[in-house]
């Protein structure tokens, strides 16, 4: 049985490439979309050769490309879309620089939401497909250390929840992924607890499994569900005194 193509938005990221390799290993053709996509030629060739699947590159700028026009220009509509777009930015900078804050907000909420919304309409019309949004535990409750990034992820999580509710009863799956800390270039230099930190390959494996099993929401490391349950239920008077 021929497996549907998997499109990775944000295919240059460590997570994006790991996800591409995981789905390719399962027999899916891969479409890697990123800025400067031609710079991923070595990765594309390795994926195609190693796993014996078709792999293509697609130039994509989440903050500039109009979703509908970009999707219509694809050679074929994917069966699975994984949105690994994201930009953490720097909280102190975002507090004083509105341009940088806007980039964080648009990169983590507006752009991912709009492109997945456009794919959702096409998948519903076709009668099949899976939409995967990589959100964050940072969106479960606003924390002083990263509330600009966290608020954007909170919006994205709410968007995915609403989209899933809207598409309930259709053949289209909407999966929300909350990885927690991931050992990538974006977190390089940060002091991360090994117990709370996932490797990109583990994130990829969890996503591929969740798509096969038609899951709705996953925490890649289950311990994060407990951690965030505690954090989200702290009374505001107590929470204000924390430094999370």
Indicate which residue of 60, 87, 147, 149 is catalytic: 149
Active site residue 87: no
> Considering the domain boundaries, does residue 70 fall inside one?
yes
Asked if residue 113 is part of any domain, the answer here is: yes
Residue 1, domain member (yes or no): no
Alpha helices (runs of H) in 40-146, residue ranges in sequence order: 41-51, 67-72, 91-96, 98-105, 111-126
Number of domains in the chain: 1
- CATH number, position 65: 3.40.50.720
Long-range contacts, 226-234 (Cβ 8 Å, 24+): 227/137, 227/196, 228/137, 228/140, 228/141, 228/178, 231/140, 231/141, 231/143, 232/140, 232/141
For the stretch 125-148, pLDDT in tens is 999 999 999 999 999 999 999 999
pLDDT at 64: 97
Give tens-digit pLDDT for 108-118. 999 999 999 99
Residue 85 lies in a domain: yes
Task: Say if residue 200 is exposed, middle or buried (CB neighbours under 10 Å; 0-12, 13-18, 19+).
Answer: buried
In a domain, 63, yes or no: yes
Containing domain of residue 19, as a range? 6-239
Q: What percent of the chain has pLDDT over 70?
A: 98
pLDDT digits 0-9 by tens, 56-88: 999 999 999 999 999 999 999 999 999 999 999
The predicted pLDDT at position 34 comes to 97
On whether residue 244 sits in a domain, the answer given is: no
Tell me what the pLDDT averaged over the chain comes to: 95
Confidence check: pLDDT of 2 > 90: no
Residue 9 β-bridge partners: 33, 83
d(CA 139, CA 169): 27
Q: How far does the chain reach from its first CA to its final CA, in angstroms?
A: 48
């Amino acid at each position: 049985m021929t497996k549907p193509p998997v499109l990775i938005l944000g295919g240059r990221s460590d997570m994006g490439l790991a996800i591409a390799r995981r789905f390719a290993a399962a027999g899916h053709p891969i479409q890697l979309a990123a800025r400067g996509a031609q710079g991923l030629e070595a990765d594309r060739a390795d994926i195609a050769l190693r796993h014996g699947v078709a792999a293509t590159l697609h130039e994509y700028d989440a903050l500039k490309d109009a979703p509908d026009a970009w999707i219509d220009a694809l050679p074929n509509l994917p069966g699975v879309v994984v949105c690994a777009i994201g930009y953490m930015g720097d909280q102190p900078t975002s507090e004083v620089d509105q341009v940088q804050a806007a980039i964080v907000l648009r990169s983590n909420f507006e752009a991912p939401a709009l492109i997945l919304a456009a794919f959702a309409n096409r998948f519903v019309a076709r009668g099949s497909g899976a939409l995967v949004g990589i959100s964050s535990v940072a969106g479960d409750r606003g924390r002083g250390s990263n509330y600009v990034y966290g608020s954007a992820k909170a919006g994205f999580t709410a968007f995915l929840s609403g989209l899933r509710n809207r598409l309930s009863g259709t053949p289209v799956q909407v999966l929300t992924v909350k990885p927690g800390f991931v050992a990538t270039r974006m977190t390089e230099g940060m002091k991360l607890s090994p117990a709370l930190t996932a490797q990109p390959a583990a994130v990829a494996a969890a996503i591929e499994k969740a798509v096969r099993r038609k899951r709705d929401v996953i925490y890649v490391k289950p311990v994060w569900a407990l951690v965030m349950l505690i954090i989200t239920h702290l009374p505001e008077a107590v929470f204000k005194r924390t430094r999370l």
